[in-house]
Amino acid sequence: MKRVSKRYIKGIAKSTLHLILEISKSSYPNEFSGLLKEKDGVVNEVILIPGTYSSTKGALMDFYNIPIGIRTVGTVHSHPSIIYTPSSVDLALFRKKGSVHIITCYPYDNKSWQSYNSNGEKITIPVIDIEFEYRDDEEW
Ligand code: ZN
């Protein structure tokens, strides 16, 4: 199996981004964290890691709980603040785990997120209006 960490990401499905923001909002004031999967270069799935410890001091992913063979392209987590700048812990994680990393922040609306590459530099990933398995008809 080839590693997909360097695969070019064309965008993120709007429904997936919406789901990420909804989970962020419902986790608040705790953080949530997960892993991103893609299909055809589009981020379309969030995997919540079993055993993730979540508190107001941060969400720690337990990578030992990731099913073997799962192919992910990056990480996602929320910040219980209005700042989506990665912390030093976040930057260390970004370098280890994939090529696209999303941080959401309060109030978790459609502007409350930023994506980063593995060096922690801001990148722009287009939001693509495409439906995968998750549906939500709410307008935003
Ligand atoms: Zn963080």
Total domain count for the chain? 1
The verdict on residue 138 lying in a domain is no
pLDDT given at position 5: 44
- Surface-to-core class of residue 83, CB atoms within 10 Å of its CB (0-12 exposed, 13-18 middle, 19+ buried): exposed
The verdict on residue 2 lying in a domain is no
Helix (H) or strand (E) holding 52: none
The verdict on residue 124 lying in a domain is yes
Cα dihedral across residues 83, 57, 21, 119: positive or negative: positive
Q: Model-level pTM?
A: 0.81
The verdict on residue 3 lying in a domain is no
Task: Report how far ligand 1's centroid is from the alpha carbon of 77 (Å).
Answer: 6
The verdict on residue 119 lying in a domain is yes
The verdict on residue 135 lying in a domain is no
The verdict on residue 134 lying in a domain is no
Which tens digit of pLDDT belongs to each residue from 28-72? 998 888 999 999 899 999 988 766 666 666 666 666 666 667 788
The verdict on residue 45 lying in a domain is yes
Active site residues: 31
Task: Report how far ligand 1's centroid is from the alpha carbon of 91 (Å).
Answer: 8
- Surface-to-core class of residue 5, CB atoms within 10 Å of its CB (0-12 exposed, 13-18 middle, 19+ buried): middle
Residue 1 has pLDDT above 50, yes or no: no
pLDDT given at position 130: 81
Task: Report how far ligand 1's centroid is from the alpha carbon of 33 (Å).
Answer: 9
Question: CATH code at 57?
Answer: 3.40.140.10
Task: Report how far ligand 1's centroid is from the alpha carbon of 87 (Å).
Answer: 5
